[in-house]
Structures are given as C-alpha cells and as structure tokens.
Amino acid sequence: MKRTSRDIRRGNRNELLRYVIARSPVSRQELAAATGLSLATVANLVGELLERGVLVEVGFEDSDGGRPRGLVAMRADGGALIGVDVAETYIHVELFDLALRLLARAEEPLSESENRPEQVVGHITSGVRAVLDQAGVDIRLVLGAGVSMPGQVEREGGLSVFAPNWNWRDVPLRDLLAGALDFPVYLDNPLMACTVAELWFGAARGCDDVIVVNLGTGVGAGIAVGGSLYRGFSNTAGEWGHTTLVLDGRVCHCGAMGCVEAYVGAPGILNTLREVDPDSAILQLDQATAIGALADALAKEDAAALETVKRTARYLGVAVGNLVNLLNPQVIVLSSWVAARLGTALLSGMREAVAEHALPRPLEHTRIMLCPIATNAVSLGAATFALEGALAPGKA
C-alpha cells in the first residue's frame, strides 16, 4: 500500500530513462526540467545509471556563458534486450539494443495444434536464436527477455496461470524457458506490455492517466494511473473486453452474455458481418485474413463492409465512452492488429457514439488516437519489462 522511497526511486528512474531514450543526448539540467525532478535527484540517478553502464557520457554543451553541461545518452551497446509476443497464431521475437532500438525480428507461425508448453518454448528459443544470428549479437550481451503471454499471468512466479485459448493452467513458462535460455525472463501479458510501450515510446509519453484499448482476437484496456501501469489487486485489471455492453446480448466465449469483446473482438466483428451479409465470402477466411479482407472491401466501399464497420464503430464508441466516464483519462490509444487494419475507419466512425455516451466534462479532456508505434508494441513493451528487470534492486 504505502509507497516506499524505493518505489519512488524506481518510478523516477523509469521516467528519466524514458526521456533519455527519447532525446539522447541530454544534459542533467534538461532532464530535471523535463521530469520535474530536482537536479540533485537527477544527478544521483544519472550517476547510478552511468556506473551500471546503462548511460554513457557523450560530450558537453554550452550553457549561455555558464559552465559547459555534460551530456549523457543511453549506452546502446551496453547490452541487448529481447521482447517476445506470444499470440494465438504466432510468436514474434524482437531484439533491441539498450536504447530500445530494434536490431532484428523473427516471427514463428503457430499452427492450431502447436500449443503444448514445450512447443511454445521451442518456438520462442528458435526465434531468439534467429534474431541473435541476424544481428550478430552475442547471447552473453542479453540482459533479459520480456515474454508477453495471453491470458492471466503470475509475474512473480513466472506462471501462465490461465491461457484461455490453449487451456493452459499454471504452466511454469519462465522456468521452462530458463532451461533453454541463459538470461532472465520476465513474464507478463500483452495488455500490460502494449500499455508500457505507449508510456515509454508512444502516445502516452509524459501522460498521467492513459488507457490503451487493445483490439485483437480478444480485447482489453491497459490502464495507466499517474504515468504508471495499473495492475489491480491480482494483476488482472483491464478486462474491459468482458464488461457488459448489451445486457443479455451475444454469447461471449467467456461464458457471459453481451460482453464488449463479443462485439469488437475480431470474431465479434465477423459475427456482425454475418448479421449484415450471411453469404459474405469473407466469412470463409481465417480470422486474421478475414479482417484484412474486410479492410480491403471497406476501401472499395463495399456496402456490407461499410455497414459492418459502422456497427462495430458504434459498439466500440459506446464501450470507449464507458471508459471516458469511469476513468476520465487524458489519452485513449487504439492498439493491436485489428486497430492497425480497421483503426482509421473505426476512429472516425466511433466519434458520434462516443460523444453521445461520454459526458462532456471528461470527454473534453480526452484525446482518442491510434497507436503511433510502427513496430510490434507488445514486443517493445515486453523488452521494456526486461530493461526494468535488469535495473531492479539487487541486480548488478
């Protein structure tokens, strides 16, 4: 409950690092001005990060006749970080330098039958080997890997507590990976990962109260409060996909009825298409291809696609309006692969429903936008967890 000085120090350090990553090289004075921390605190944190080899002194700048100011930057080659996005149909692995710049990526497709833990571990390790080979990076430089795993995750124990699509329960994924990989592994879920990515690199940098609406097969809402991830009491906050939008509405795969996910998750969108045009050829395709085909049909102003997206945008707008009213956020970001394909149309289509359902006072302060991160936000956020882990107290 109580925040300790250690929590504060970690929060301050993360905020400082976010700024260094965005603006390297920077002076301590600029960092103090940008973060609101005192110059003494900044100097202290920078000193620690220089000592750990995370930052490096890179020169000086004039200060209008005063003493020249020392500039620091991320020590990009001070280590490497890996971010892994485990999804239902693929495993995406990315390798980053310490400045979180992408060095290499690999994608391992997963067939529907390949979902035993040892198969997933095999794909992750072969993806890791692939990115290290591509970039020519020695595995001994890797400070850690963040692994985003769908469903519910117990971070401390490194367990996949429940992965609904694969029916995993309490799989010790971190320990299984530790047998195959020679660096620390940090397990978390995609909602937390893509929210952290927005905080560090995306639309939410410098923002306090943020919601990242993740639109994929499943849907969820990552929440940040005061610039930090909000996890809830047992790390399951953000299950916006399973809030009720339509009392007694469509059956959701969670077993309840009328959930947001049953309307704006990819299968829900395809169900809406089925209502609009039961004979649509798109319905024969697998889910990801179908959403792409829907986007293509929309671009050609196909009537069924237009109507499907219009209805979906309305559902989404009402459900996003709920978030505005309940949480009064500064920014709402639409993220993940469905947003990447249909986001522009959904964003413009949803405005009316948002305005109808959100109260004017909270809404006037809310920006609603698409995820600006060009690469995989989940891998990037997962790698950030590895950076945070490497910097945690007690680590060298």
Q: For a second copy, give the closer residue by CB, 144 or 190.
A: 190
Binding site for a second copy (CB under 8 A): 1-5, 8, 11-12, 15, 35-37, 152, 161-162, 206-209, 221, 223, 225-227, 230-240, 242-247, 249, 254-256, 315, 318-319, 321-322, 325-330, 356-357, 359, 361-362, 364-366
Q: Could you tell me if 32 and 39 are in contact, meaning their C-beta atoms sit under 8 angstroms apart?
A: yes
Closest separation between CB of residue 154 and a second copy, Å? 10
The answer to whether 129 and 119 are in contact (CB under 8 A) is no
Quote the least distance from Cβ 27 to a second copy, whole Å.
18
Tell me the closest approach of the beta carbon of residue 356 to a second copy, in angstroms: 6
Phi, psi (deg, nearest 5) at residue 6? -65, -40
Indicate the residue among 186 and 240 with the shorter CB distance to a second copy: 240
Closest distance between a second copy and the C-beta of residue 4, in Å? 7
* Rounded Cα–Cα distance for residues 287 and 263 (Å): 14
Whether residue 282 contacts residue 294, with contact meaning beta carbons closer than 8 Å, is answered with: yes
Task: Supply the minimum distance, in Å, between the C-beta of residue 331 and a second copy.
Answer: 9
Q: What is the smallest separation between the CB atom of 211 and a second copy, expressed in angstroms?
A: 10
Of 235 and 344, the one with the shorter C-beta distance to a second copy is 235
Q: Cα separations (Å) of 360 from 11, 210, 308, 318, 366?
A: 32, 18, 28, 14, 10
User: How far is CA 272 from each of CA 87, 122, 229, 242, 339, rounded to the nearest angstrom?
Assistant: 24, 37, 33, 18, 17
Which C-beta is closer to a second copy: that of 49 or that of 132? 49
Q: Which two tokens stand for residue 170?
A: 């309490």
Rounded to the nearest whole angstrom, what is the least distance from the CB of residue 89 to a second copy in the complex?
Answer: 23
Closest distance to a second copy from the beta carbon of 274 (Å): 18
Q: How far apart are the first and last CA of the chain?
A: 27
Q: Are 224 and 237 in contact (CB under 8 A)?
A: no
Half-sphere exposure of 289 (CA within 13 A, CB side): 6
Give least dist CB 373 to a second copy, A.
Answer: 20
The residue among 10, 165, 21, 15 whose CA lies nearest residue 101 is 21
Residue 234 or 284 with smaller CB distance to a second copy:
234
Burial class (CB within 10 angstroms; exposed 0-12, middle 13-18, buried 19+) of 50: middle
- Nearest distance in Å: CB 130, a second copy: 34
Q: Which is nearer to a second copy, 165 or 325 (CB)?
A: 325
C-alpha closest to that of 370 among 207, 212, 196, 238? 212
**Nearest to a second copy of 235, 287 (CB atom):** 235
Rank residues 327 and 380 by Cβ distance to a second copy and give the closer one: 327
Residue with Cβ nearer a second copy (56 or 260): 260
Q: What are phi and psi of 158, to 5 degrees?
A: 65, 35
How many angstroms separate the CA atoms of 396 and 390, rounded?
8
Q: Are 222 and 208 in contact (CB under 8 A)?
A: no
Determine contact, residues 156/234, Cβ cutoff 8 Å. no
139 three-class SS: helix
Among residues 15, 13, 40, which one has the least CA distance to residue 28? 40
Q: Which is nearer to a second copy, 351 or 365 (CB)?
A: 365
